[in-house]
Structure 1
Amino acid sequence: MAHNINFDENTRRHSFFSVKEKAWHGLGQLIEQYPTSKEAILHAGLDYQVEKTKLVTHPNLETNDESENQLIPVPGFYATMRTDTKAVLGVVGKDYQIVQNRDAFTFFDSIVSGDGILYETAGALGQGEKIFITAKLPEYIRVGKDDLIEKYLFLTTSHDGSGSITAAFTPVRIVCANTLNAAMRNMTNVIKIRHNSNATERLKMAHQVMGISSRFSEQIGQVFNSWSKKPISDPQLKKLIEFAMAPNKEVLGNVKDGKLNALSTQFTNIVDDVYEYALSNPTQQLPTTMGTVFGAFNAVTGYFQNIRKFADDEAKVKSILYGGTGQLRTQKAFDLCTDFVRHGSDLFSMN
């Protein structure tokens, strides 16, 4: 079985999918439309969990006495096992960190927030101990001088302790063990991540190390430049901050209706802190920020980056970058600034 594609005894399907082109030896699922990451995981049969279990040995194998009280743990070593099939995938050390299959897709999703990645193939080899994903990047993504945009971006990782998580570009469309090996021999812009405690977090940022960036960054520069020329009064600034920092619909409704007495002290203190930052921080005194829409947006981002207290640096990163409060409020501020430029003061009666 040269392809070595996993056959799932539970689903009676091979763990592989391919878009448009016929799957290897007719195995796996052939689909017509590019899937989302969640769909790709299901099509490829990668929706299984892997866990570390204690590794034990038995001193009396020759006597066939296999009672549990005779089992002796092997210190410092663990077995990795699929929770669905109970297949043992490998033996690893105590510091080995499992990166679940769904987490492997965070590498691709983090490039453009999951929108636009063209997943071509994905699958599992052996009993599921090794997985691979190949994809094409959308046209609005830039890679260095754009010479890699037509190549496949692929990621492979294992659950048996045999190697690092590897992401790279290759001209080879991976459909089996043989083409995975060929892709590994012809890869460029390579990054390798060890299976340790911060592997998943490093995976989210790996595309930046590989030189992958969105052309949207150029467009954002143009947007911010136009915002720096759009004036906003102090009362409008205060209202925009209140709208942006409202944690739920109830608070937002009270802000809209002017029910200041219904607002919590905690919320009003946060608004005051952002407003004070907008008016007094040295970075807010520049011509591009003082009294401008860009200054309003910069006040919200600056609050989370420089004023807000976090338990530690990890908590701060999660809040600002990985879907936490900082990222949500910043996105709301961005949307409000965009609408304000279009509608002016009418914005606050429209929201």
Structure 2
Amino acid sequence: MAHNINFNSETGRYSFFSVKEKAWHGLGQIVEQYPTSEEAIKHAGLDYEVAKKPALIKGAGLLIGNNGEIIEGQDIIIPNRFGTYRTDTNQPFDVVGKDYHIVQNREAFNFFDAIVGSGEGILYETAGALGQGERIFITAKLPGYIRVGNGDDVTEKYIFLTTSHDGSGSITAAFTPIRIVCQNTLNASLRSMSNVVRIKHTSGAKQRLEDAHKVMGLANTLSSQLEGIFNNWAKVKVTDREVRKLIQLALCPNKETFDLLKKGAEDEVSTLYRNTVDDAFAYAMTSDTQQMDTTKGTLFGAYNAVTGYYQNVRSYKDNEAKLQSIVMGGTAQMKGQKAFELCTAFATDGAEILNLN
């Protein structure tokens, strides 16, 4: 698989670090101890500044002499437009508006430091830069676990943060629970809240602290409620037929396919969709992690069949595409949320929501 980790030719290092685990595609730095934010920035090659200059069209203007002759070309400044760039390599990123506020990499870490300072005890686990350094990401492990069943099925709690320097998006922080036994990202948010907080591009300490507490409050509330929900689902029995139907509905790409499923015309759906459902169902039936007391023949197992398919079975063109799909609002995250909603309805209404009765 390809990768898109930034390589800094000035330092000869890839901009990525991971604690104890093998770094992305064998690139980047592996460290044995959880670092401070200052150490993490250096390990990940994120110790660079971003600046902006007025955007211009090179040599597009013309100076005309007294006799009408062209004397020389002249740069034309584009009003209210600026180019962002790395100051260490002069690598340009993109053109942004006059109100765009650059959030330096260290300021992104300051967001987490606001949590650390409150005694929450988070641990920096990975960080890195993609492309030419225009996008960065940080994952931090939260204390405690979500435990399902007798405690053998454990989910770790993370906050994932990403931001860009090219105007392509705001700072985004998401609560991301990951099931340890299969590294399954459990994409779930309750009806009354999202698992994502979008943070204003500001370097103000007061705002950082407010945003940090907002994310931590979200994480604490979600993790507590999810533990109750998952433990309930682990006690709800489902048949293989119901598992397959849940998978079909969760992965359904459009209304046309849904209408075909509703009238029982499964042989008329697209081959791609049918193969996707088959692969997810095979994962549900055969994966070792689906044979646990918490997952075998349970609603929790059906939910994990969808999230586990995207994490452990589906092929992606590269790890950045996988990251985008699973964590950053892509297909896997949307389908995982759909599976969560279906399972929530099933736990209340039973097989009626599957049109099986």
What's the TM-score, normalizing by structure 2? 0.50
Q: Deviations over 1:185-244 (max 9, x none)?
A: xxx78x999993214883245677968432212211211111111100111111111111
**SS state at 2:107 partner:** strand
Q: Give the corresponding residue for 1:349.
A: 355
Aligned: 1:259 with 2:265? yes
Q: Deviations over 1:288-319 (max 9, x none)?
A: 00000000000101100111111101111111
Quick one: structure 1 residues 249 and 90, their matched pair in 2 at CA, closer, same or farther if it must change by over 3 Å? closer
Aligned: 1:97 with 2:93? yes
Q: Give the corresponding residue for 1:296.
A: 302
Deviation at 1:57, TM superposition (A): 11
Q: Give the AA of the match of 2:250.
A: A
Q: Give the corresponding residue for 1:146.
A: none
Q: Give the corresponding residue for 1:325.
A: 331
Q: Give the AA of the match of 1:272.
A: D
Q: Give the corresponding residue for 1:196.
A: 133
Q: Give the corresponding residue for 1:135.
A: none
Deviation at 1:323, TM superposition (A): 2.5
Determine if contact 2:303/2:343 at 8 Å carries over to the other structure: yes
Q: Give the AA of the match of 2:73.
A: L
Q: Give the AA of the match of 2:135.
A: N
**SS state at 2:241 partner:** helix
Determine if contact 2:252/2:258 at 8 Å carries over to the other structure: yes
Aligned: 1:166 with 2:162? no
Deviation at 1:333, TM superposition (A): 0.8
Deviation at 1:129, TM superposition (A): 6.2
- Give the CA RMSD over aligned residues: 4.4
Determine if contact 1:320/1:326 at 8 Å carries over to the other structure: yes
**SS state at 1:71 partner:** strand
Deviation at 1:349, TM superposition (A): 2.6
Quick one: structure 1 residues 51 and 314, their matched pair in 2 at CA, closer, same or farther if it must change by over 3 Å? farther
Determine if contact 2:236/2:347 at 8 Å carries over to the other structure: yes
Q: Give the AA of the match of 2:322.
A: K
Determine if contact 2:55/2:81 at 8 Å carries over to the other structure: no
Aligned length: 219
Aligned: 1:286 with 2:292? yes
Q: Give the corresponding residue for 1:70.
A: 72
Deviation at 1:53, TM superposition (A): 3.7
Determine if contact 2:325/2:333 at 8 Å carries over to the other structure: yes
Q: Deviations over 1:220-275 (max 9, x none)?
A: 12111111111001111111111111100110111111012211222111111111
Counterparts of 1:65 and 1:350, CA distance in 2: 87
Determine if contact 1:51/1:98 at 8 Å carries over to the other structure: no
What's the TM-score, normalizing by structure 1? 0.51
Larger strand fraction of residues: 2
Deviation at 1:334, TM superposition (A): 0.7
Counterparts of 2:238 and 2:68, CA distance in 1: 77
| Aligned pairs for 1:298-313 within 5 A | 298-313=304-319
Q: Give the AA of the match of 2:223.
A: S
Relative CO higher for 1 or 2, CA cutoff 8 Å, sep ≥ 6? Answer: 2
| Aligned pairs for 1:150-299 within 5 A | 157=102, 166-167=107-108, 168=110, 196-199=133-136, 202-203=162-163, 204=171, 212-213=215-216, 214-215=219-220, 216-299=222-305
Aligned counterpart in structure 1 of residue 321 of structure 2, from 296, 309, 315: 315
| Percent sequence identity over aligned pairs | 32
Counterparts of 1:207 and 1:271, CA distance in 2: 28
Counterparts of 2:228 and 2:68, CA distance in 1: 71
Q: Gaps (5+ residues) in structure 2?
A: 1-52, 112-116, 119-123, 138-160, 164-170, 176-207
Quick one: structure 1 residues 284 and 69, their matched pair in 2 at CA, closer, same or farther if it must change by over 3 Å? farther
Quick one: structure 1 residues 89 and 258, their matched pair in 2 at CA, closer, same or farther if it must change by over 3 Å? closer
Specify the structure having the higher radius of gyration (Cα).
1
Determine if contact 1:193/1:202 at 8 Å carries over to the other structure: no
Deviation at 1:321, TM superposition (A): 1.9
Quick one: structure 1 residues 97 and 251, their matched pair in 2 at CA, closer, same or farther if it must change by over 3 Å? same
**SS state at 1:268 partner:** helix
Quick one: structure 1 residues 206 and 270, their matched pair in 2 at CA, closer, same or farther if it must change by over 3 Å? closer
Counterparts of 2:279 and 2:225, CA distance in 1: 30
Deviation at 1:322, TM superposition (A): 2.3
Q: Give the AA of the match of 1:97.
A: F
Which of 207-216 and 295-304 deviates more?
207-216
